[in-house]
Amino acid sequence: MTSTDGFENKLAVTISLKYKFALFSSALILCVCATLSLFLMGQIEDELNRQIRLRGMSSITNFSQNVKYSMTTQNRAFIKSLIESEINKEDVHHVIIIDQKGVIIGHNNPSLVGKRITDEYTQNFLENLNEPTYRKIPTSSGIKVYDFVMPITESDIYTTERYSNPIEARQRMQEGRNLGLLRIGISFEKMETSIQKTYSDVVKITMAICLVAIILAFLYGKVVSKPLIEMTRIANRLATGYLDERVNIQGTDEISVLANNFNTMAQSLQESRSNLWKLNKDLEFMVEERTQELLTAYAELQELDKLKSSFLSTVSHELRTPLTSILGFAKMIDKQFNRHIIPNLPEDNKKTTKAKNTIGTNLDIITQESNRLARLINDVLDLAKIESGKMSFNFEELQLEQLFERAFNNLHSLTEQSNIELELKYSHTKPALIKGDRDRILQVMTNLISNAIKFTKDGRITCRVEMKDDWIQCSVKDTGIGIVEEDLLKVFDKFQQVGDTLTDKPQGTGLGLPICREIIEVHNGQIWADSKPHKGSTFYFALPFDQSNPVPETVKEVTFKLEDKLDKMEKSEYLILIADEDEGVRDLIKVSLENEGYRTIQAVNGKEAYDLAREYPVNAIIIDIMMYDIDGFDTPHYLKSDDLTKDIPIVLLSIILNQNHEMVLGANTYVTDPIDAEKILDRLNEIVRDTHSSLSTAKASFVGFPRNNRRAYTTELKNMGITVEHFDTSVQFQRSLESDLPTAIFIDFKDFDLSPNQFFKMVKKLDRTKKLPVIAVIHAGQVAQVIDAAPIKGLCSTIDVTNSINELFGKRIRG
Amino acid sequence: MNKKILIVDDESHLRFLLEQTLEDLEDYDIEIETAENGELALKSIQEEKPSLIFLDVMMPRVNGFDVCSQVKSNEDTKDIYIVLLTAKGQEIDRLRGEECGANKYLTKPFDPDEIMEIAANHFGVELDF
């Protein structure tokens, strides 16, 4: 499994949900508070203004009631007393009375009385004001006062009630003559101060509320998003391959339900992944089985092929010997007949003459047919040799045009007797050079041309050499009888002579074209034909410039290269080296192998095994796989890297003797270092398959495994639902065996406190545990490679050992 | 030069054929001996000292290659002209023939005329065919 790469989570969380929630809530709260404060402050402001207006207007109206008569009468003393009583009010800042001419007739500052006003502000009021009004003005003392201004008109004084003459009164009122101005300055400082204080209180309270609300919003956001964040984290872990992760959320709300469903989903994901793995492994297993069957079938085929060619070789030899006699004696008869009989025959006897001629013809036929038989035998042998890969080809640089010329010369005698013109055509200027076997290519050319001659009564045979992209194409074109389309493919098959064999007597052996095809295919080329009946045929062959780059297109049959014959050595000629630290094991193997007929020598450690293998002509080495772990000498590595010993086959085994001195399998099988989840799962799967249990409920105990590498495979195993336990010491491990037994034990002896022998004896001693599958880690590089290339099965009895040795040398078990 | 030809073949028909083929040479005082296996051939070679041997390869016990290499390794007999006859027209056989020192190598079925020509050339006899 390609672990986690495929599931990398591309969408990382950039802004957390809780921040989004908090930000949104805070903004909302801020808006609400701001609106409320503004509204409140507006209300207060309005109220303040109303109060100021009320207070000011009532003051100035009252005052004007009191003062207006005095203004007409210019009773300054009275005005002064009025002003004094007014100014004595706590908040009154100034009182000013001005007549229509702009002369101050009353002022809280008596020194100013009688003076004219000069400031534009008052002047302006005097000229334009009709209604009482007020505005806020700064004063010389720095504080701001509300200056209430009220115009005094005649109509204020001359009301209808007050005049005895209503007409005069009405006239006067209509005039509404302006009598002057009243100004009263009132300071609302206290009120404003208190309002300011209220304002700042409102702002403070608002801010406090906002702050609390925002904090609450954050807290709530966190509470709400916490399970979601947790689920996101778990989902990420799942996506990156940690399928054993689960969300832990309690509760009854929607999120808890979601979490539950999420867990169920993860569970089924884990199960289906485990199933998928198992399925995959089973499939691999099946494929392996089928491959094995195929290999067996292939080996049988090879054996058959070998038999076939040896049969052919023998048969052709057996055929040639009598053929030699037939041909030889035919020739002798012919010679002696011509030399001694014919001269003595009466010339006038018709019958004798006829018989003489018949005998001559018959002898010719015997010779011809014998020669044909000899050719046939040669062709059959040639074909068998090429097919079995036994024909040797001498590759050299060839010039195809030259070869065609040579073929023409060879066939000169054939064309001389017929009406056939031979020609060679090529358009290229530089010679067409390829790598090939001169004699064989010439054989192909001769064959194709002689075929063409054979099927052409008169006409032209054109040979052509053409350069193509990566190959050279040659063709032999005739104007003969041609071949019908359905026969075109058959012409390259053995013993297929096209046409009706009853009427057209075959002239050749029927093997020429098959031989051509074989030769061309050995050259990585192609051969094919094109023809139209009665128009002629063209035979092509194409050869690559570069032998490693075959001419493309068309199907090729696989030519089985036959292996050399099995070594015919006797068993007693084999010397087998047994290397094991345990003398009992060595002796048992020695006895069984020697009973079988082999000779043996023994080594007690790896170094000795290596030395002995160099010294003696050893044919095979049986070596304890754990031995290098004990003496630290990587024997297989040294054996495989020494030219003297590198070709000696090594049989690895792990056997211990139990109390009864019987052989017991040590480790069932091995994983090679560096280990990964894949290898562990492979082994585990084999064991699970053998015991018909389920991979997803398996329990694996890891004993003595280094801590640094554990995580990598542990996660993967947990993803499959496999329970994983680690033990660092033998004591821990032994204690664990007292409770629940694991499905399989993986052991790494490298830094473990027990030797392989001690460990296996401990496990195999108890009835409970002796059947437990043990998988040992193999560290040494060379051994690891040997094992990875051909995983060894458990060899647990002397029969297994002898069988494997017999198999190695292709012998059958005796008896 | 000893005017003797030795024919070695375990097949009586072929011995007979070779004898017939070469019998014209008897007119030139050339003797023709036969042997039916390798052992007898070696014995005959020691005794008769032929100068030309037609030697079949495939024979039981001592085969033609062995006879040939023994003859060629012996100082007394190494100059004997040996023609190997074989039915096993394989490349490897031809190479083995060369290796054991044979002077010529013929594949069965051979042409009687060729045998005759070899013998005639060897003894310097001119024949009319």
The pLDDT assigned to A501 comes to 40
B18, B89, B110 member nearest A378 (Cβ): B89
Judgement on whether residues A518 and A385 belong to the same structural domain of the protein: no
> CA of A440 to nearest chain B CA: how many angstroms apart?
14
The conformational region for residue B71 under phi > 0 = left, psi -120 to 50 = alpha, else beta, is alpha
> CA of A749 to nearest chain B CA: how many angstroms apart?
55
Judgement on whether residues A413 and A350 belong to the same structural domain of the protein: no
ipTM of the complex model: 0.78
3-state secondary structure of A416: helix
> CA of B117 to nearest chain A CA: how many angstroms apart?
14
Which residues of A touch chain B, with CB atoms under 8 Å apart? 313, 316-318, 320-329, 331-332, 335, 370, 374, 378, 381, 385, 391-392
Least confident of A22-31, A327-336, A622-631, B96-105: A622-631
Q: Number of A:B CB contacts under 8 A? A: 58
For A301-354, write each residue's pLDDT tens digit: 988 877 877 777 777 778 888 888 888 888 888 888 888 888 888 878 888 888
For A558-609, write each residue's pLDDT tens digit: 222 222 223 334 566 778 888 888 788 888 888 888 887 788 888 888 888 8
Residues 45-64 of B with CB under 8 A from A: 58
Judgement on whether residues A610 and A754 belong to the same structural domain of the protein: yes
A521: in domain: yes
Inform me whether the pLDDT recorded for B5 exceeds 80. Answer: yes
Distance from C-alpha of A613 to C-alpha of A629, rounded to nearest angstrom: 20
Q: pLDDT over 70 for what percent of chain A?
A: 83
Beta strand A395-399 with A458-467 is unpaired
pLDDT band at B54 (very low <50, low <70, confident <90, very high): very high
- Mean pLDDT over the full length of chain A: 78
Domain end residue (candidates: A346, A370, A391): A391
Distance from C-alpha of A362 to C-alpha of A264, rounded to nearest angstrom: 96
A235: in domain: no
For A249-284, write each residue's pLDDT tens digit: 777 888 888 888 888 888 888 888 888 888 988 999
Mean pLDDT computed over B89-99: 73
DSSP for A67-120, please give it: HHHHHHHT-HHHHHHHHHHHHTSTTEEEEEEEETTSBEEEESSGGGTTPBP--H
Chain center to CA of B15 = 10
Contact A629, A776 (CB under 8 A): no
Q: Pick from A592, A673, A677, A586: which is nearest to A634 by CA?
A: A673
pLDDT band at B82 (very low <50, low <70, confident <90, very high): very high
A408: in domain: yes
pLDDT band at A300 (very low <50, low <70, confident <90, very high): very high
Instruction: Provide the CATH number for the domain around residue A786.
Output: 3.40.50.2300
A773: in domain: yes
Judgement on whether residues A605 and A683 belong to the same structural domain of the protein: yes
Mean pLDDT computed over A116-144: 80
For A478-492, write each residue's pLDDT tens digit: 888 888 777 777 788
Where are the alpha helices (H) located in chain B, listed in sequence order? 12-22, 38-48, 64-73, 91-99, 112-123
**CA within 13 Å, CB half, A295:** 6
Write down all domains in chain B, each with its CATH number in brackets. 4-123 (3.40.50.2300)
> CA of A464 to nearest chain B CA: how many angstroms apart?
32
Residue listed under structure tokens 């050893």: A618
**B15, B17, B84, B111: best to mutate for the A interface, most A CBs within 10 A:** B17
- Tell if the CB–CB gap between A328 and B17 is shorter than 8 Å: yes
A562: in domain: no
B18, B91, B109 member nearest A320 (Cβ): B109
A362: in domain: yes
Mean pLDDT computed over B104-111: 86
The pLDDT assigned to A502 comes to 38
A11: in domain: no
Domain end residue (candidates: A391, A414, A435): A391
Judgement on whether residues A607 and A727 belong to the same structural domain of the protein: yes
Q: pLDDT over 70 for what percent of chain B?
A: 95
The pLDDT assigned to A660 comes to 64
Radius of gyration over every alpha carbon of chain A, rounded to an integer in angstroms:
60
Distance from C-alpha of A667 to C-alpha of A681, rounded to nearest angstrom: 17
Which structural domain range is residue A796 located in? 571-808
Q: How many domains does chain A have?
A: 4
Domain end residue (candidates: A341, A367, A391): A391
Those residues with Cβ within 8 angstroms of residue A19's Cβ, 6 or more apart along the chain or in another chain: A221
> CA of A339 to nearest chain B CA: how many angstroms apart?
10
The pLDDT assigned to A298 comes to 93
Q: Apex CA A28: angle with CA A22 and CA A34, to 5°?
A: 130
A318, A370, A385 member nearest B109 (Cβ): A370
Spell out which residues of chain A touch residue B111, defining contact as CB-CB under 8 Å.
327, 331
Judgement on whether residues A387 and A494 belong to the same structural domain of the protein: no
> CA of A543 to nearest chain B CA: how many angstroms apart?
25
A115: in domain: yes
pLDDT band at A458 (very low <50, low <70, confident <90, very high): confident
The pLDDT assigned to B52 comes to 94
Residue listed under structure tokens 């035979």: A539
List the single residue in B with minimal CA-CA distance to A338: B129
| Burial environment of residue A779 by CB neighbours within 10 A (0 to 12, 13 to 18, 19 or more) | middle
Q: Apex CA A330: angle with CA A324 and CA A335, to 5°?
A: 125
Instruction: Provide the CATH number for the domain around residue A415.
Output: 3.30.565.10
Judgement on whether residues A590 and A455 belong to the same structural domain of the protein: no
Inform me whether the pLDDT recorded for A793 exceeds 60. Answer: no
3-state secondary structure of A138: strand
pLDDT band at A5 (very low <50, low <70, confident <90, very high): very low
For A234-253, write each residue's pLDDT tens digit: 888 888 878 888 888 777 88
Structure tokens of A330?
A: 């035919």
| Burial environment of residue A582 by CB neighbours within 10 A (0 to 12, 13 to 18, 19 or more) | middle
Judgement on whether residues A716 and A582 belong to the same structural domain of the protein: yes
Does residue B88 or residue A6 have the better pLDDT?
Answer: B88
Inform me whether the pLDDT recorded for A4 exceeds 60. Answer: no
Does residue A178 or residue A349 have the better pLDDT?
Answer: A349
Judgement on whether residues A584 and A523 belong to the same structural domain of the protein: no
**CA within 13 Å, CB half, B25:** 26
Instruction: Provide the CATH number for the domain around residue A180.
Output: 3.30.450.20
- Tell if the CB–CB gap between B89 and A381 is shorter than 8 Å: yes
Inform me whether the pLDDT recorded for A92 exceeds 70. Answer: yes
Judgement on whether residues A497 and A529 belong to the same structural domain of the protein: yes
Cα dihedral value A607, A611, A612, A616, nearest 10: 160
- Tell if the CB–CB gap between A332 and B111 is shorter than 8 Å: no
Judgement on whether residues A523 and A416 belong to the same structural domain of the protein: yes
**pTM score > 0.90 for this model?**
no
For A180-192, write each residue's pLDDT tens digit: 888 888 888 888 8
Inform me whether the pLDDT recorded for A9 exceeds 50. Answer: no
Q: Give the per-residue SS3 of A660-706.
A: CCCEEECCCEEEECCCCHHHHHHHHHHHHHHHCCCHHHCEEEEECCC
- Tell if the CB–CB gap between A324 and B88 is shorter than 8 Å: no
Inform me whether the pLDDT recorded for A678 exceeds 70. Answer: yes
Judgement on whether residues A621 and A732 belong to the same structural domain of the protein: yes
Those residues with Cβ within 8 angstroms of residue A599's Cβ, 6 or more apart along the chain or in another chain: A572, A574, A575, A576
Mean pLDDT computed over A132-147: 82
Q: Which helix (H) or strand (E) holds A181?
A: strand A178-186
Distance from C-alpha of A540 to C-alpha of A473, rounded to nearest angstrom: 7
Mean pLDDT computed over B99-119: 88
Mean pLDDT computed over A13-35: 82
C-alpha distance across the termini of chain B, in Å: 25
Tell whether B88 lies on the interface with A, counting CB pairs under 8 A: yes
Structure tokens of A47?
A: 């109220």
Q: Please state the length of chain B.
A: 129
The pLDDT assigned to A599 comes to 84
